C-alpha cells in the first residue's frame, strides 16, 4: 500500500503569524474612519473591540478542536453524533454561553446492505470499500459506513446498463436522439453539474430501474492533480456518499414538511412524502465504474461525455449486466441540535451563526473545519464577555445535526421557531466546509454583500500578509483569467459577474447548506462563507484529520482566520447602531434580473399569455424601478443620521424595518410546485442543483412555457417587490428628522 508523504508549504508570512510575531489584524493599512451602521462617536469603541477580538482566535486550539471532532465517525442518527453534540454543549458552556440540546425525531434511514455485482460479461463483486493507506490509521477504522446514498429506497434488481453522462435533462434528450432507451435500465452517471438528488429525480422520471453515481477522475481525481495519499485529490477507490432526498422540493424531515419534527408532530405517511425518492440509488468509486463502463456497447459518447478513465466511453447498453441490492433501515431516529446563546442587552434581536456537526465519516473538512472555527469564534467572544463586554444584541451559535441527510436539524429548528425568528433574527451567518485551502468564498443576500467585503478588509490573510479581501480579489481575478485562457475558440469566455464599482462579486444563495431554511423559508438575511482549495476527498473516508494536516490547512491558520471573519461579521451586526444592510446593491441585482427576464421573453417568443404577459413584464419592471428608488431614498436618509437626530426607540424601529425588507420577498403561497420555498427572488433551481435561480418562479415558468403558472408567478413576484418597497419607504420615513 502507498505510504503517505506530507506536503507542507507555508509562506514566510504564515510562519511569522503562527509564531505570534505579526498580529492578525491589518496593521499595514489605516482602517477607515467610519464603519457602516455606526454613529461616529461609537466607531472608536467598535474598532477597539474588534482589535481585541482578533487577537484571541488561536490556530493551535483550532487544531485541538479538529482532533477531537475527527476522532471517530459520527454520522447523523447514530449515538456517535449524540456524543459530539454533548461535547459541543460542554464546550459552549465553558466559554460562558447558555447552551442546550434540542432533540427532534425524524424519518432517517441507515444502510443494512449495499450490494452491487457485475453479472456479465464476467461475475465480479463491486461496491468495494475504500482502500486504507499506511500512515493514515483512520482509513483502517471499521466503523466507517459503507458507501450509500441516504434516502434511497430498498431494492433488489438486475438489469443492463446505460451511461447517461451527468444525468441532466439535456443528457436524457441526447440519449433519446441517439435512440437509446433508458426505461428499465440501471443508469450510470457521474457526479458533477447538479445535486445528486436531482440526478435521482430525473432517472425516476425517465423510468429507469436504478441509478449508480460515480466520481470520474476528470472531475476531482488524477486528471486534476495528485491523488491521495500523494496529493489532495480523489483516489480511484474513494466513494462520494451523500443524500438523494429531493430537497429541491423541501428539505428537512420528509414526514413533517413545514412543521418542526417534535415527538408530538403530525406526520404524513412515507408514501405521501414527495421529497422521498422512488428509485434505488447508490454511489460507487471510479475503479468499480471502470469495470462497468469498459464493457458498454452502443454509440461512442458525444463530445463532452468522455471522462478521465483510460478507454473510450460508450453510451450502452452492452455486455455489462448488473445485480443491485440495497436494503435500508428506515426508522424514527433522534437528532441533536446544539443551541448556544450569549445574551445581549437587547435579547429581542438575535445575530445567529450556524454550522452542522454531523459527518458522513470523520468529516475533517466537511464540516469539522467549520466547527473548529465556530468554536474559536465562540471562545473569543466568551473571553471578551469575561473581560466585561456585553453584546448589544444576543449572539446565538447553532450546531446542527443531520445536515448531510437533507438539512434536517436546521430546517426543523427554523420550522419550529419561524415566528420568533421573523420577529427577532437580524441575520444568519453560515459556514459548512469551512476550510479546504486559502481562497475566501462568500455567498449572501445582496443586502449583506458590502458587509462581507468590509469585514474581509479588516482581517489579515495568513499566506500573503495582506487583507483577506485583497487575497480574495487577486484569486477571483486570476480565476477569471484562467477561465478565459482555457476556453476553446468556439466556446468563448465566460462573462464576469457584475459587482458595484468593480468590487469582488459575492455569490447568490442557492442550496446545499443550513442557510437554506433561514433564507428561503423564513426570509432571514443570510450569508455563507468559507476558505476553499484543492479538495477531492469530499464525503469520502479520506476526509480525515491527516488530509487536513497535510493538504487542507496544515498550520490551521485559516481555521483561525475564518473564526476572525465570523466574529467580526457577528460584532458588526450585533453592535451596529443602524444595521449595516445595503439595499441599493440588492436593487441593482433585482433590476438586472428583471431586465434579463424581459430579454429572455423577447428572444424566446414566449407568447402563450399574449398581451397579459407583456403587461406583467411592464408591471414587474415598474415595481423593480420603484424598489430601486426606495432603496436610494432610504440610503440617503440613513447617511444623514447623526447623534441627536435619532432616539433609541426610533433606532429600534428603523432596524426592525430594515430586517423585514427581506421578509417582504416571501410569498405566502410559495413557489409553484414547491410551496415550502417562499422566497420569490432567490431559490435553488428545481433542476439546477445547488445553484441559485434568480426570480425562480418566473424564470422556471418561462422555461416550462406554462402560461397560467407564469402569470401567477409574475403576480407573486411583483407583489413581493411592492411589499419590500413599502418597508424601505418605512425606513426612509423613520429616518427623516421630525
Q: Please name the residue ranges forming H helices in 77-162.
A: 79-94
Residue pair 380/55 in contact (Cβ under 8 Å)? The answer is no
3-state DSSP percent of the chain in helix, strand and coil, to 5: 40, 20, 40
Please state the separation of Cα 548 from the chain's center in Å: 20
Nearest to 623 by CA among 585, 593, 643: 593
Residue pair 547/365 in contact (Cβ under 8 Å)? The answer is yes
427-447 burial string, b = 16+ CB within 10 Å, else e?
bbbbbbbbbbbbbbbbbbbbb
Q: Which of 219, 403, 415, 450 is catalytic?
A: 403
Residue pair 524/428 in contact (Cβ under 8 Å)? The answer is yes
Task: Retrieve residue 71's grid coordinates.
Answer: 476522532
Give the DSSP letter of residue 509: P
CA–CA dist 345, 718 (Å, integer): 38
Q: Cα 324–125–133 angle (5° rounding)?
A: 120
CA–CA dist 602, 596 (Å, integer): 10
CA–CA dist 186, 205 (Å, integer): 13
Give the DSSP letter of residue 178: T
Beta strands in 484-573 (DSSP E): 526-532
**Residue 403 annotated to the active site:** yes
Residue pair 461/471 in contact (Cβ under 8 Å)? The answer is yes
CA–CA dist 680, 727 (Å, integer): 16
210: three-class secondary structure by DSSP: strand
- What does residue 12 show for φ and ψ, rounded to 5 degrees? -60, -40
Polymer length of the chain: 738
Q: How many CB atoms lie under 10 A from the CB of residue 621?
A: 16
Supply the residues annotated as catalytic: 403
Amino acid at each position: 500500500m502507498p505510504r503517505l508523504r506530507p506536503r507542507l508549504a507555508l509562506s514566510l508570512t504564515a510562519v511569522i503569524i503562527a509564531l505570534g510575531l505579526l498580529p492578525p489584524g491589518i496593521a499595514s493599512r489605516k482602517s477607515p474612519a467610519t464603519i457602516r451602521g455606526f454613529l461616529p462617536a461609537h466607531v472608536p469603541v467598535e474598532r477597539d473591540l474588534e482589535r481585541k477580538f482578533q487577537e484571541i482566535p488561536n490556530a493551535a486550539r483550532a487544531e485541538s478542536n479538529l482532533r477531537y471532532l475527527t476522532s471517530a465517525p459520527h454520522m447523523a442518527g447514530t449515538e456517535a453524533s449524540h456524543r459530539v453534540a454533548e461535547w459541543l454543549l460542554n464546550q459552549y458552556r465553558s466559554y460562558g454561553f447558555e447552551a442546550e440540546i434540542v432533540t427532534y425525531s425524524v424519518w432517517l434511514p441507515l444502510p443494512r446492505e449495499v450490494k452491487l455485482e457485475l453479472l456479465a460479461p464476467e461475475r465480479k463483486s463491486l461496491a468495494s470499500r475504500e482502500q486504507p493507506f499506511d500512515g493514515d490509521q483512520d482509513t483502517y477504522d471499521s466503523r466507517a459506513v459503507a458507501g450509500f446514498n441516504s434516502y434511497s429506497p430498498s431494492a433488489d434488481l438486475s438489469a443492463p446498463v446505460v451511461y447517461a453522462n451527468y444525468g441532466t435533462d439535456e443528457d436524457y434528450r441526447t440519449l433519446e436522439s441517439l435512440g437509446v432507451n433508458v426505461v428499465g435500465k440501471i443508469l450510470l452517471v457521474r457526479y458533477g453539474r447538479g445535486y445528486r438528488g436531482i440526478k435521482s429525480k430525473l432517472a425516476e422520471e425517465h423510468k429507469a430501474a436504478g441509478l449508480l453515481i460515480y466520481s470520474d477522475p476528470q472531475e476531482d481525481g488524477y486528471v486534476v492533480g495528485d491523488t491521495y495519499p500523494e496529493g489532495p485529490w480523489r483516489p480511484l477507490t474513494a466513494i462520494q456518499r451523500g443524500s438523494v432526498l429531493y430537497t429541491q422540493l423541501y428539505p428537512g424531515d420528509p414526514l413533517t414538511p413545514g412543521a418542526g419534527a417534535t415527538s408530538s408532530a403530525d406526520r404524513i405517511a412515507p408514501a405521501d412524502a414527495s421529497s422521498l425518492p422512488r428509485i434505488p440509488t447508490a454511489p460507487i468509486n471510479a475503479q468499480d465504474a471502470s469495470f462497468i463502463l469498459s464493457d458498454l456497447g452502443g454509440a461512442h459518447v458525444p463530445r463532452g461525455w468522455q471522462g478521465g478513465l483510460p478507454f473510450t466511453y460508450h453510451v450502452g447498453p452492452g455486455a455489462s449486466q448488473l445485480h443491485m441490492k440495497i436494503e435500508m433501515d428506515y426508522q424514527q431516529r433522534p437528532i441533536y441540535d446544539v443551541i448556544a446563546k450569549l445574551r445581549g442587552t437587547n435579547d429581542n434581536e438575535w445575530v445567529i451563526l450556524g454550522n452542522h456537526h454531523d459527518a458522513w465519516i470523520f468529516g475533517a473538512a466537511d464540516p469539522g473545519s467549520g466547527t473548529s472555527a465556530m468554536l474559536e469564534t465562540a471562545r473569543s467572544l466568551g473571553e471578551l464577555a469575561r473581560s466585561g463586554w456585553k453584546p448589544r444584541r444576543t449572539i446565538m451559535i447553532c450546531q446542527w445535526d443531520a445536515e448531510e441527510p437533507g438539512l434536517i436539524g436546521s430546517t426543523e429548528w427554523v420550522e419550529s421557531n419561524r415566528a420568533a425568528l421573523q420577529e427577532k433574527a437580524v441575520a444568519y451567518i453560515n459556514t459548512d466546509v469551512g476550510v479546504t485551502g486559502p481562497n475566501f468564498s462568500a455567498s449572501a443576500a445582496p443586502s449583506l454583500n458590502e458587509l462581507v467585503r468590509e469585514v474581509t478588509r479588516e482581517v489579515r490573510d495568513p499566506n500573503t500578509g495582506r487583507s483577506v479581501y485583497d487575497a480574495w480579489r487577486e484569486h477571483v481575478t486570476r480565476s477569471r483569467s484562467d477561465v478565459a485562457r482555457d476556453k476553446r475558440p468556439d466556446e468563448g469566455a465566460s462573462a464576469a459577474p457584475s459587482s458595484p464599482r468593480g468590487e469582488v462579486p459575492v455569490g447568490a444563495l442557492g442550496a446545499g447548506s443550513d442557510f437554506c431554511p433561514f433564507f428561503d423559508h423564513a426570509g432571514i438575511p443570510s450569508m455563507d462563507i468559507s476558505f476553499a482549495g484543492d479538495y477531492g476527498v469530499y464525503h469520502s473516508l479520506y476526509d480525515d484529520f491527516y488530509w487536513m494536516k497535510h493538504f487542507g490547512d496544515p498550520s490551521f491558520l485559516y481555521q483561525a482566520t475564518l473564526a476572525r471573519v465570523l466574529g467580526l461579521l457577528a460584532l458588526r451586526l450585533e453592535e451596529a447602531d443602524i444595521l449595516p444592510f445595503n439595499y441599493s446593491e440588492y436593487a441593482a441585482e433585482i433590476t438586472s434580473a428583471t431586465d434579463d427576464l424581459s430579454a429572455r421573453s423577447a428572444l424566446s417568443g414566449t407568447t402563450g399569455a399574449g398581451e397579459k404577459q407583456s403587461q406583467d413584464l411592464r408591471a414587474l419592471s415598474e415595481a423593480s424601478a420603484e424598489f430601486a428608488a426606495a432603496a436610494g431614498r432610504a440610503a440617503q436618509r440613513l447617511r444623514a443620521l447623526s447623534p441627536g437626530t435619532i432616539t433609541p426607540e426610533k433606532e429600534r424601529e428603523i432596524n426592525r424595518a430594515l430586517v423585514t425588507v427581506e421578509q417582504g420577498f416571501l410569498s405566502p403561497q410559495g413557489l409553484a410546485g414547491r410551496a415550502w420555498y417562499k422566497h420569490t427572488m432567490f431559490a435553488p433551481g428545481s433542476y439546477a442543483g445547488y445553484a441559485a435561480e434568480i426570480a425562480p418562479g418566473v424564470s422556471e415558468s418561462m422555461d416550462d412555457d406554462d402560461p397560467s403558472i407564469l402569470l401567477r408567478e409574475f403576480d407573486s413576484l411583483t407583489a413581493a417587490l411592492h411589499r419590500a418597497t413599502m418597508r424601505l419607504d418605512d425606513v426612509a420615513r423613520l429616518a427623516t428628522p421630525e
